[in-house]
Structure 1
Amino acid sequence: MLNYRSLKDHVYEYISNQIREEALKPGERINENRICEALEVSRTPVREALLQLTLDGYIEQLPRRGFMVKSISLSRVHNIYEIIGALEALAATTCIRKERSIDFDQLEQMVVKMDQLIEAQAYEGYYQLQHEFHQMIIEASGNEDLNKMIGNLKKAFIKQAYTGADYDEYQNALRKTNEEHFQILKLMQAKDVIELRSFIQDVHWNSKYAFMEMLE
């Protein structure tokens, strides 16, 4: 039997997957009763999960109207990319300037594994691993406030499952992104602060890839 917290987490995951797989679309109201019936749970953990999703920026609560899937404009994604690029560049350069401990071998293993996941079209696994790659660097900076700021900004995004449209563009974009992960690793190992900052901010978080964050 799941405890209360894990039950709320289970509902949270179910709803976020519904958004990711486009069963729930931006602007669509969320039917709480339908979720209760689908998961055979009471309204309490569903409401707790919805409130958490609201705090995390995936949905919004409408006065006296329940909850709705939140949409995000391409222009806002561009803005967020620019901010995250600057903050992640700060995290990475702080890490190497202060010579904080970081496992480069583990980062390299992640990059290799991400290549394999891309070719296998295992996109969920790829996104999870690339999150861990970035998070490992951010946490190595030792700056908890910076970690929280970046985390809050990234909560504006929720990945949709790949649906098959524009396959070549999507696949090539992921391959290029992972090549950039390897370049970030090389620059960190070389302790090239200037080039590392420029590469993360201007190349890796270039807003031309913002389309991959969009739920349409």
Structure 2
Amino acid sequence: MSLKIIVTKDGSHTLEGAGGVTYHSTFGAVQESRHIFIDAGLKAAQGRPLRVFEMGFGTGLNALLTLMEGRPIQYETVETIPLPLTMVKELNYCEVLGRPDCQSLFERLHSTPWEEPMEVQPGFRLLKSRGDIRDYDLREPADLVYYDAFDPVAQPELWTEEVFGRLYGQLAPGAIVVTYCCKGAVRRALRAVGFKTEKLPGPPGKREILRAIKPH
């Protein structure tokens, strides 16, 4: 995929691919990720260490924000097409966050070997795998899921009842799933496999987001 770096409305970068598909909201990449995955997800999740699974590692912004929270985390992610480190080094997230000291950690998130658990910093353990969520098996049941696939128009195959049912079976009781996508078809698919869903206020540029919970 041919990618270019663009600046979003909060000054942070995102990547744009063919057809104008972007990795983050053009209204603000950092504010979107923080609102959805940290405020609505991480801060509501329980577990020590907390086991986080991210669908789509992408730019690594969600992992960076999670690492910066300082909680004991086991972070697992699956990605089909990793970014080249040369492009990662151009992303301005640490600068926008006022944490230039975290740049080396951000680059380490991307440069650690794939398929091998690594401690990025004390208390934050990362496992990156190359693969497809449709046939991926989590190493351990997750407490929190960042579901950050491209939208259902670009990747309809990743938002189906079949995919969510497979994921449901690999999560701990009480696990939380957060995503930017609040479409009716997505909510229905999640509920069909057993999740309870709730709509929450979205970040700038998006009216609502979705949080799903696996009952105890």
TM bin, normalised by shorter chain, reads under 0.3
Relative contact order, CA 8 A, sep 6+: which one is greater?
1
Larger Rg: 1
Larger relative helix fraction: 1
Pick the structure with more strand per residue.
2
